[in-house]
């Protein structure tokens, strides 16, 4: 009886470890940028959230926000913010940058501390002077340095996700410390990006051996390799939502380019495609746009 129980437990642990090893942890990079405003009396600052408009992941990816900080202005006191985000399914191909619904339970917030940079620190706390972080108990803050990865995983319910995020600003440290749920403060900037989730597992990819061009393409694509090949590569084609396109596209050696093959793409409609190219069991992933 004990032996049977032990074997069952061992199988469960092996499955758990196997699943954990297949998980791919990825990050969405977002930069908080503070620059001196070109308008006004010179004391104004422009606060922006900088990021790409669109990112592509695979269905087994675990995705977390990662915050960077870039400052080109002379901060004179410590700033207190909370970075918040929400995700939801969408059918739009362009993100809506208006502020998200803060009642969304699938989001999260995280503390953001921007230390003084040069000048005189006019913060009320003398212990903060000439420091790059605030000296408080670890339970008060979880982000002391940048880049900082939020521990809350993004909620990804569909193949096309609208990912919205924002900054809340606080006038004083006390309000900031007590707002653990991100409900106080003033929302000063909102932004958004699209996340495409391909409906396939992330494969093991090899890089640096294959070049695919032009991008964008029209009626043909060149696949060039570093060493001579006599056998055409195997190509699997996926659309923007990760669905495999079951078309047998002709691939022939190029008569004008060394170590290259030409694939006829005239039957493809305009849009984004993902190429999985297999050479001698090595996989290369390329993203191309047909115009």
Q: Which tops the pLDDT comparison, 285 or 102?
A: 285
Task: Tell me if 71 sits within 8 A of 109, measured CB to CB.
Answer: no
Could you give the 3-state DSSP secondary structure of residue 145?
coil
Average pLDDT of the chain to the nearest whole number: 75
Q: What is the pLDDT of residue 21?
A: 42
Residue 19 has what pLDDT?
Answer: 41
* Rg from Cα positions in the chain: 25
Distance from the Cα of residue 23 to its chain's centroid: 16
As given in the structure block, the two tokens for residue 257 are 């380019």
Whether the predicted pLDDT of 138 surpasses 70: no
Structure tokens belonging to residue 52: 């790409």
Q: Counting runs of H as helices and runs of E as strands, what totals does the chain give? A: 2, 17
Neighbour count for residue 20 (Cβ, 10 Å): 8
Label the pairing between strands 61-71 and 24-36: parallel
Q: What pLDDT was estimated at residue 221?
A: 92
Given a contact cutoff of 8 angstroms between Cβ atoms, the answer to whether 150 and 157 are in contact is no
């Amino acid at each position: 009886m004990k032996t049977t129980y032990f074997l069952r437990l061992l199988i469960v642990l092996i499955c758990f470890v196997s699943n954990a090893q297949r998980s791919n942890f990825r990050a969405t990079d977002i930069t908080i940028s503070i620059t001196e405003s070109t308008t006004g009396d010179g004391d104004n600052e422009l606060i922006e959230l900088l990021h790409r408009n669109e990112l592509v992941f695979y269905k087994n990816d675990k995705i977390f926000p990662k915050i960077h900080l870039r400052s080109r202005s002379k901060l004179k006191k410590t700033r207190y913010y909370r970075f918040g985000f929400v995700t939801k399914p969408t059918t739009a191909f362009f993100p809506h940058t208006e502020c998200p619904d803060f009642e969304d339970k699938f989001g999260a917030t995280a503390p953001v501390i921007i230390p003084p940079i040069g000048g005189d620190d006019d913060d009320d706390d003398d212990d903060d002077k000439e420091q790059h972080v605030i000296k408080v108990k670890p339970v008060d803050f979880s982000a002391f340095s940048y880049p900082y990865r939020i521990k809350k995983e993004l909620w990804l319910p569909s193949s096309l996700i609208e990912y919205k995020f924002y900054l809340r600003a606080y006038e004083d440290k006390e309000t900031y410390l007590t707002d653990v749920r991100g409900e106080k403060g003033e929302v000063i900037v909102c932004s958004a990006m699209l996340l495409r989730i391909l409906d396939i597992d992330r494969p093991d990819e090899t890089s640096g051996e294959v070049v695919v061009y032009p991008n964008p393409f029209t009626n043909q694509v060149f696949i060039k390799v570093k060493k001579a090949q006599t056998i055409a590569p195997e190509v699997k084609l996926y659309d923007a939502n990760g669905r495999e396109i079951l078309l047998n596209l002709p691939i022939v050696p190029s008569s004008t380019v060394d170590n290259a093959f030409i694939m006829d793409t005239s039957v493809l409609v305009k849009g984004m495609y993902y190429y999985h190219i297999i050479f001698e069991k090595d996989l290369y992933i390329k993203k191309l746009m047909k115009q």
